[in-house]
Structure 1
Amino acid sequence: MIRGASLRGFARLVEELGGDPVAFTERFAISPDALTSEEGLVPITAHDLMLDAVSVDLRCADFGLRLACGQDLSVLGRLALAIQASSTVAEALECASRFMFVHSPALSVGVEPDPRGRREVVALTYRKDLRESPYSPQAMELGLALFHRVAVALTGGLAGLRSVELPHQPLSPVSRYAEYFGVGVSFGCPAAALRVERRLLDQEFRGADAAIRRLAVDYLTGHHTDPERLVSTHVRRALAASIGATPAVLGQIARLLSMHPRTLQRRLAAESTSFEAIVDDVRRDIALRHITTTDLPLGQIAAMAGFAEQSGLSHAVRRWEGTSPSRLRRRTRGTF
């Protein structure tokens, strides 16, 4: 999932381009409320597919960059307060890295060694966990462009930015990227990143306030649980790695996690879920992801999602989405 705040400005921009924002949300089974309620959650795969579709359908190759221009740090909600009140760039990045799961568990930011090997440079990376959702060029450009806007606002200009890196090939003329970021942009790179001089990490913020930062961090800690600490997260990953190849059996997953099956059931119940619910959720993610993003035969997708027959997939998709797999595929591609 991803917070609806990621779609701030979406409706206005789509309308400016001559499109119907509600029609796009309906096409990807996203509640229209997501366009006005920033605290709601949206499935990140549907969110990203919608951005890519808008770019193609409305012939706007730089849609992600344009959408970022209407956003700022506040799209991160309470996390924004903790970041703004940090004392240095390094502290702000540590906070963002620690709590990015509040915005979306599939996204992460970090500080990594320079991919080009320069000791005086570090890479401020922006990544999406592809185990959770397919890669989306427009969503990646939106995220990295917003990351850049936030860094510029916090540092008063982002002095020390050396270059920008993107994993995909250019969607727009290269000059458009240079215009937006103000530096050279490389494509086909291992990760999306802003390459900056290491000294930037020590830059102090004028608005630093230790008390506000502590209150914001305490709130985030008290109201949000890091998915990495949840047993359900590890069950989900184990199932995602094995479903379709081996039966989804509670005892087998319990052994992988070094737990007794009853203990695993109790732990999941304490997290307000169950093994059966997670199996259904994993099957749903795998099935819908491949139906909407690939041309694989439905029979093959059924097997990948752990269904014995294609009919099982069809029944499940009707339960999840209220339509057939083939119609869902056509709907997301705008061919209906």
Structure 2
Amino acid sequence: MSNDIGPTFRSKSNGQERPISLGSAVPAGLGRTLPPGYIHLGVAKEIAPTLHEFGIDPAPVIREAGLDPGLFDDDANIIPHAALGRLLTLSVARTRCPHFGLLAGRHATILSLGLVGRLIQHSETVGDAVQSLVSNLSIENRGAVPSLTISDGMALLTFSIYLLEAESADQISDGSLAVAVNALRALCGADWNPAEVLLPRTAPADQEPYRRHFRAPVRFNQESATLVFPARDLDRRVDGADPMMREVLEERVRQMKIAQGREFSDDIRRLLRTRLTSTRCSAEAIAETLAMHRRTLSRRLKDSGIGYRAIANEIRFEIARQLLQDTEVPLGQIAAALGYSEASAFTRAFRRWSGRTPKAWRADGRLAPIAQSVNVLSSRVKHGASGSLQ
């Protein structure tokens, strides 16, 4: 596909004007549109060389995950997010390395983020760069969603997975934060470190690889995958940023969003995944956030073939499943994070969704096929099983 789309801009270099077209700013292959549930290979391309480091031929592992090894020759190729999860599950099993996702992520660079990575390289400030990541990552990854919050002088950059079929959420979270740190060091300098790192996974026996990469305290068994750093770092200016190049890249991102289109139910899933554990998320509140009437929200979701309550249940189940499977967070804390006033209400809802209590899921559900539970939930929510807060 051609990358020469849109106008040609002019930028000054050494006192002379030079034309910049979208084609010269964007390497061939970048900017392919993504359907919901897919990602550009990007960071995941590092899985193959990481397997090589363990002396393992990646091709058979990639095939077992249902993918063509040839896809990994170009990080602009797209794959299902679910396949990424399967590949990471297989990679952990083959290498017997519980932090495989961290190793793959630490090899990635800011350019592994594709078109968005190039855009944030040319942002005026680190804050602009992070906002560009939050606003635009969906053109590179439609299986996870970042968010930024500021609290008590600290910035919290969080990555959340919002797909029911996601395997190895802990590995994906590890890799996401690993490459996010690499990107921030590219913007702030190699000596930049976060204040702390939060990970939604049990503490591994060997924590040294995490301390070595993040160079900061790492807290496991958390509710989210979050980098915490001083909010003042957002005011840092990005060295080498080219305003004209930024304008060109912003135009390409805008075109990509138009070409990609919007699936309203997917937008709601992304929004709920970033807010469900931290704020009020009734249908009325979400409609207000989107500057629309509650009835308009319901009508647009109905046109997508699903209701708000069903989507909210999907996201609640996904969050609960990830925390039960990957962490030792107490049930009462999970219930509170999902907005339930009592653990018993959460237990009843979880039993309706999965057919088991949260305690039973945690005890033996980690070994059960994920697809079985996903099918159970899909069937139940489509038939109106709720147990959620409205």
Say if 1:234 and 1:110 are closer, same or farther in 2 by CA, change over 3 A: closer
Matches within 5 A, 1:125-164: 125-131=158-164, 133-134=166-167, 136-157=169-190, 159=192, 161-164=194-197
Indicate the residue corresponding to 2:54 in structure 1.
Answer: 17
In the alignment, the residues of structure 2 paired with residue 124 and residue 172 of structure 1 have an alpha-carbon distance, to the nearest angstrom, of 26
Say if 1:132 and 1:227 are closer, same or farther in 2 by CA, change over 3 A: farther
In the alignment, the residues of structure 1 paired with residue 256 and residue 128 of structure 2 have an alpha-carbon distance, to the nearest angstrom, of 21
Say if 1:300 and 1:107 are closer, same or farther in 2 by CA, change over 3 A: closer
In the alignment, the residues of structure 1 paired with residue 205 and residue 253 of structure 2 have an alpha-carbon distance, to the nearest angstrom, of 38
Aligned 8 A contact 2:125 2:238 in 1: yes
Aligned 8 A contact 2:40 2:141 in 1: yes
Indicate the residue corresponding to 2:287 in structure 1.
Answer: none
Per-residue deviation, 1:297: 10
In the alignment, the residues of structure 2 paired with residue 192 and residue 298 of structure 1 have an alpha-carbon distance, to the nearest angstrom, of 24
In the alignment, the residues of structure 2 paired with residue 176 and residue 32 of structure 1 have an alpha-carbon distance, to the nearest angstrom, of 28
170-179 vs 35-44, greater mean Cα deviation? 170-179
In the alignment, the residues of structure 2 paired with residue 297 and residue 186 of structure 1 have an alpha-carbon distance, to the nearest angstrom, of 26
Aligned 8 A contact 1:120 1:198 in 2: yes
Deviations 1:30-65 (CA, angstroms, capped at 9, x unpaired): 122221121221111221221122112212222122
Segments of structure 1 that go 5 or more residues without pairing to the other structure are: 238-253, 269-274, 276-285, 308-336
Aligned 8 A contact 1:227 1:233 in 2: no
Deviations 1:274-314 (CA, angstroms, capped at 9, x unpaired): x7xxxxxxxxxx9xxx9xx862699887665549xxxxxxx
Segments of structure 2 that go 5 or more residues without pairing to the other structure are: 1-37, 271-294, 306-316, 318-353, 355-365, 381-390
In the alignment, the residues of structure 2 paired with residue 206 and residue 3 of structure 1 have an alpha-carbon distance, to the nearest angstrom, of 27
In the alignment, the residues of structure 2 paired with residue 297 and residue 124 of structure 1 have an alpha-carbon distance, to the nearest angstrom, of 28
In the alignment, the residues of structure 1 paired with residue 162 and residue 189 of structure 2 have an alpha-carbon distance, to the nearest angstrom, of 30
**Pair 1:43 & 2:116 matched:** no
Deviations 1:62-111 (CA, angstroms, capped at 9, x unpaired): 21222123210111222122101101011001111111001112222222
Match of 2:368 among 272, 295, 309: 295
Say if 1:70 and 1:299 are closer, same or farther in 2 by CA, change over 3 A: closer
Indicate the residue corresponding to 1:175 in structure 2.
Answer: 208
Say if 1:257 and 1:10 are closer, same or farther in 2 by CA, change over 3 A: same
295-304 vs 43-52, greater mean Cα deviation? 295-304
Q: TM-score if structure 2 supplies the norm length?
A: 0.59
**Pair 1:111 & 2:152 matched:** no
Aligned 8 A contact 1:49 1:136 in 2: no
Aligned 8 A contact 1:101 1:226 in 2: no
Q: TM-score if structure 1 supplies the norm length?
A: 0.68
Aligned 8 A contact 1:81 1:212 in 2: no
Indicate the residue corresponding to 1:60 in structure 2.
Answer: 97
**Pair 1:211 & 2:252 matched:** no
The SS at the match of 2:116 is helix
Which letter maps to 1:55?
V
In the alignment, the residues of structure 2 paired with residue 129 and residue 28 of structure 1 have an alpha-carbon distance, to the nearest angstrom, of 20
Aligned 8 A contact 1:163 1:195 in 2: yes
Indicate the residue corresponding to 2:114 in structure 1.
Answer: 77
